[in-house]
Amino acid sequence: MKRAIFPGSFDPITLGHVDIIERGVTLFDELVIAIGVNADKKYSFSLEERKRFIEETFKNEPKIKVVTYSGLTVNFCKEIDAQFILRGLRNPADFEFEKAIAHTNRKLSEIETVFLLTSSGKSYISSSIVRDVIRNNGDYTGLVPDAVRI
């Protein structure tokens, strides 16, 4: 079985994430959306809310599982027998950042990182932009899946 994880904080999940997940699920037998827990980070949405947003968004996709984890992503991959890490790239800066992480992960393990380019119509969307729009009472509904719309 080809199992991949798509790790992130998903604070909140955006249509950019959805784009990568919908396209990535076609490449693997199972796609585990792995919500990383970082005790040092302050989140806008609780872990339970973030998990619920994702589960609701993909409730009709049997190849997707949603879990939480802490620690190194490669260690979590080993725990669940995932051979791949799926990452989305929006721009050249994302590539440089993700490339360094992928090389480090490859040094630490046998896990391959698979990159997908975000569709052009969604490449500007990031969770930090969505949080800023929400904080300032802007209309964020075109940036997130229905499950996130408060």
* Residue numbers annotated as active site: 17, 41, 90, 127
Angstrom distance (rounded) from CA 110 to CA 68:
22
Angstrom distance (rounded) from CA 110 to CA 39:
27
Angstrom distance (rounded) from CA 143 to CA 150:
13
Angstrom distance (rounded) from CA 53 to CA 145:
8
